[in-house]
A = this chain, B = another copy of it.
C-alpha cells in the first residue's frame, strides 16, 4: 500500500501523462498538482516509486511515466469513477432508440459509439451462435424446387439457407418434417443439434432422408464457420492519432493484430466469466501487438447470462475513469435493450 503522498504523486503523473504523452518531471508534479512540497521532495518520492515498480524512466535524464504496475495500482486502489454527462448518456440511449432489432447491426452501432466517445478503437462480439438455444426449425417452400430452411434460437439468433427440395415434397411433408425436428431439438444449444439422437431421427424421418441430410450438412457447415464469429471493430484510426504510434512499425503490428478477427474474438471471449468492467494493461495482454495498449471490456447479456462483450482498445495512458464508466454504461444499456428487443 502506498502512503498518501506517494499515491498523489502517482496519480499526478498518470493524469499528466494521459494529457501530454510526455514523461512527467518532478517540477511539473510539484507545481501543477499542488502538493505543497518542492520538486526535490517529489524527486525522492519518484525514485522510491520507481524502485517499487510503479514508474519507469525512458532514459536517465527524462521524467517518469507510469509502468503497467503503476496503472494497475491506480485502477485497483485509487481511481474514482467518473460519471457520464447527461448529454453523453442520452447519446448512448439514442443509438438504440430506433428499435432496430438486428443484433449485429446493434453491435456495430455500439462499437461506433464507443470508438467515438473514447477516441480509441473499440470492439464488440455478439452472441456465440453455437451457444444459442434452439427454438424452432421450419422449411418454407419457395417457387421452383427451392425452399428456405430457417432455424431460430434465442437472443435473436436466426440462421437460414436455401435448399433444393427433393422432387415430390408437399407442403404437408415440410410441415411434418419441421414439426418433428422442432419438437425433437427444442431447448438444446445449437452446438449439440447435429449430434443429438441422429440415428433415431433418421429412423423417424426416413422418408425425408435427403432433406435431413441437407439440414445436418447446414449445421455442420455452421460449425465449421464457427471460429469466424463476426467481431465488430471500429475506430482503429483513432488510436493512430496517439503519439505513441508515431512509429509506423508499431502501427503495422497493431493493425495486423486487429485484423486477426480470431485473435480479437478470443481476447474478448476470455473475459466471458468475469462480471463488471475488466481492464488489462500492456504486458498483461497476451498478444505482442497489444503491448503498449490497454483494453477495457464489459460483458452484456440476456436473461441473466452473458452473451457477448464490448470493449475499448486504446493507449495505456487513456482516461480510465471516463472509459471505464463509458464501457460499463454501454454494456448495461445494451443488455437492457437486448432484453427489450428479444425478450423470450
Contacts and interface: CB of A to CB of B under 8 A. Distances in A.
Interface in A92-130: 98-102, 105, 108
Contacts of A235: 259
Contact of A252 (B150, B160, B240): B240
A237 interface: yes
Question: Which among A99, A160, A225, A245 has the highest number of chain B CB atoms within 10 Å?
Answer: A160
Nearest to A217: B99
One complex includes copies of this chain to the number of 2
B259 A248 contact: no
B105 A228 contact: yes
A148 B235 CA distance: 34
Contact of A236 (B105, B138, B259, B342): B259
A255 B234 contact: no
A98 B245 CA distance: 40
Query: What class of interface size applies to chain A in its complex with B?
Result: 35 or more
Nearest to A101: B161
Contacts of A136: 140, 142-143, 148
B148 A142 contact: no
Interface string A303-344: 000000000000000000000000000000000000001101
Nearest to A341: B162
Nearest to A344: B144
Contact of A342 (B135, B138, B140, B162): B162
Interface in A193-228: 221, 224-225, 228
A143 to B, nearest CB: 7
A261 to B, nearest CB: 9
A248 B251 CA distance: 8
Interface string A231-272: 000111100110001111001100110010000000000000
7 contacts: A102-B225, A105-B228, A140-B152, A142-B152, A158-B160, A240-B255, A251-B251
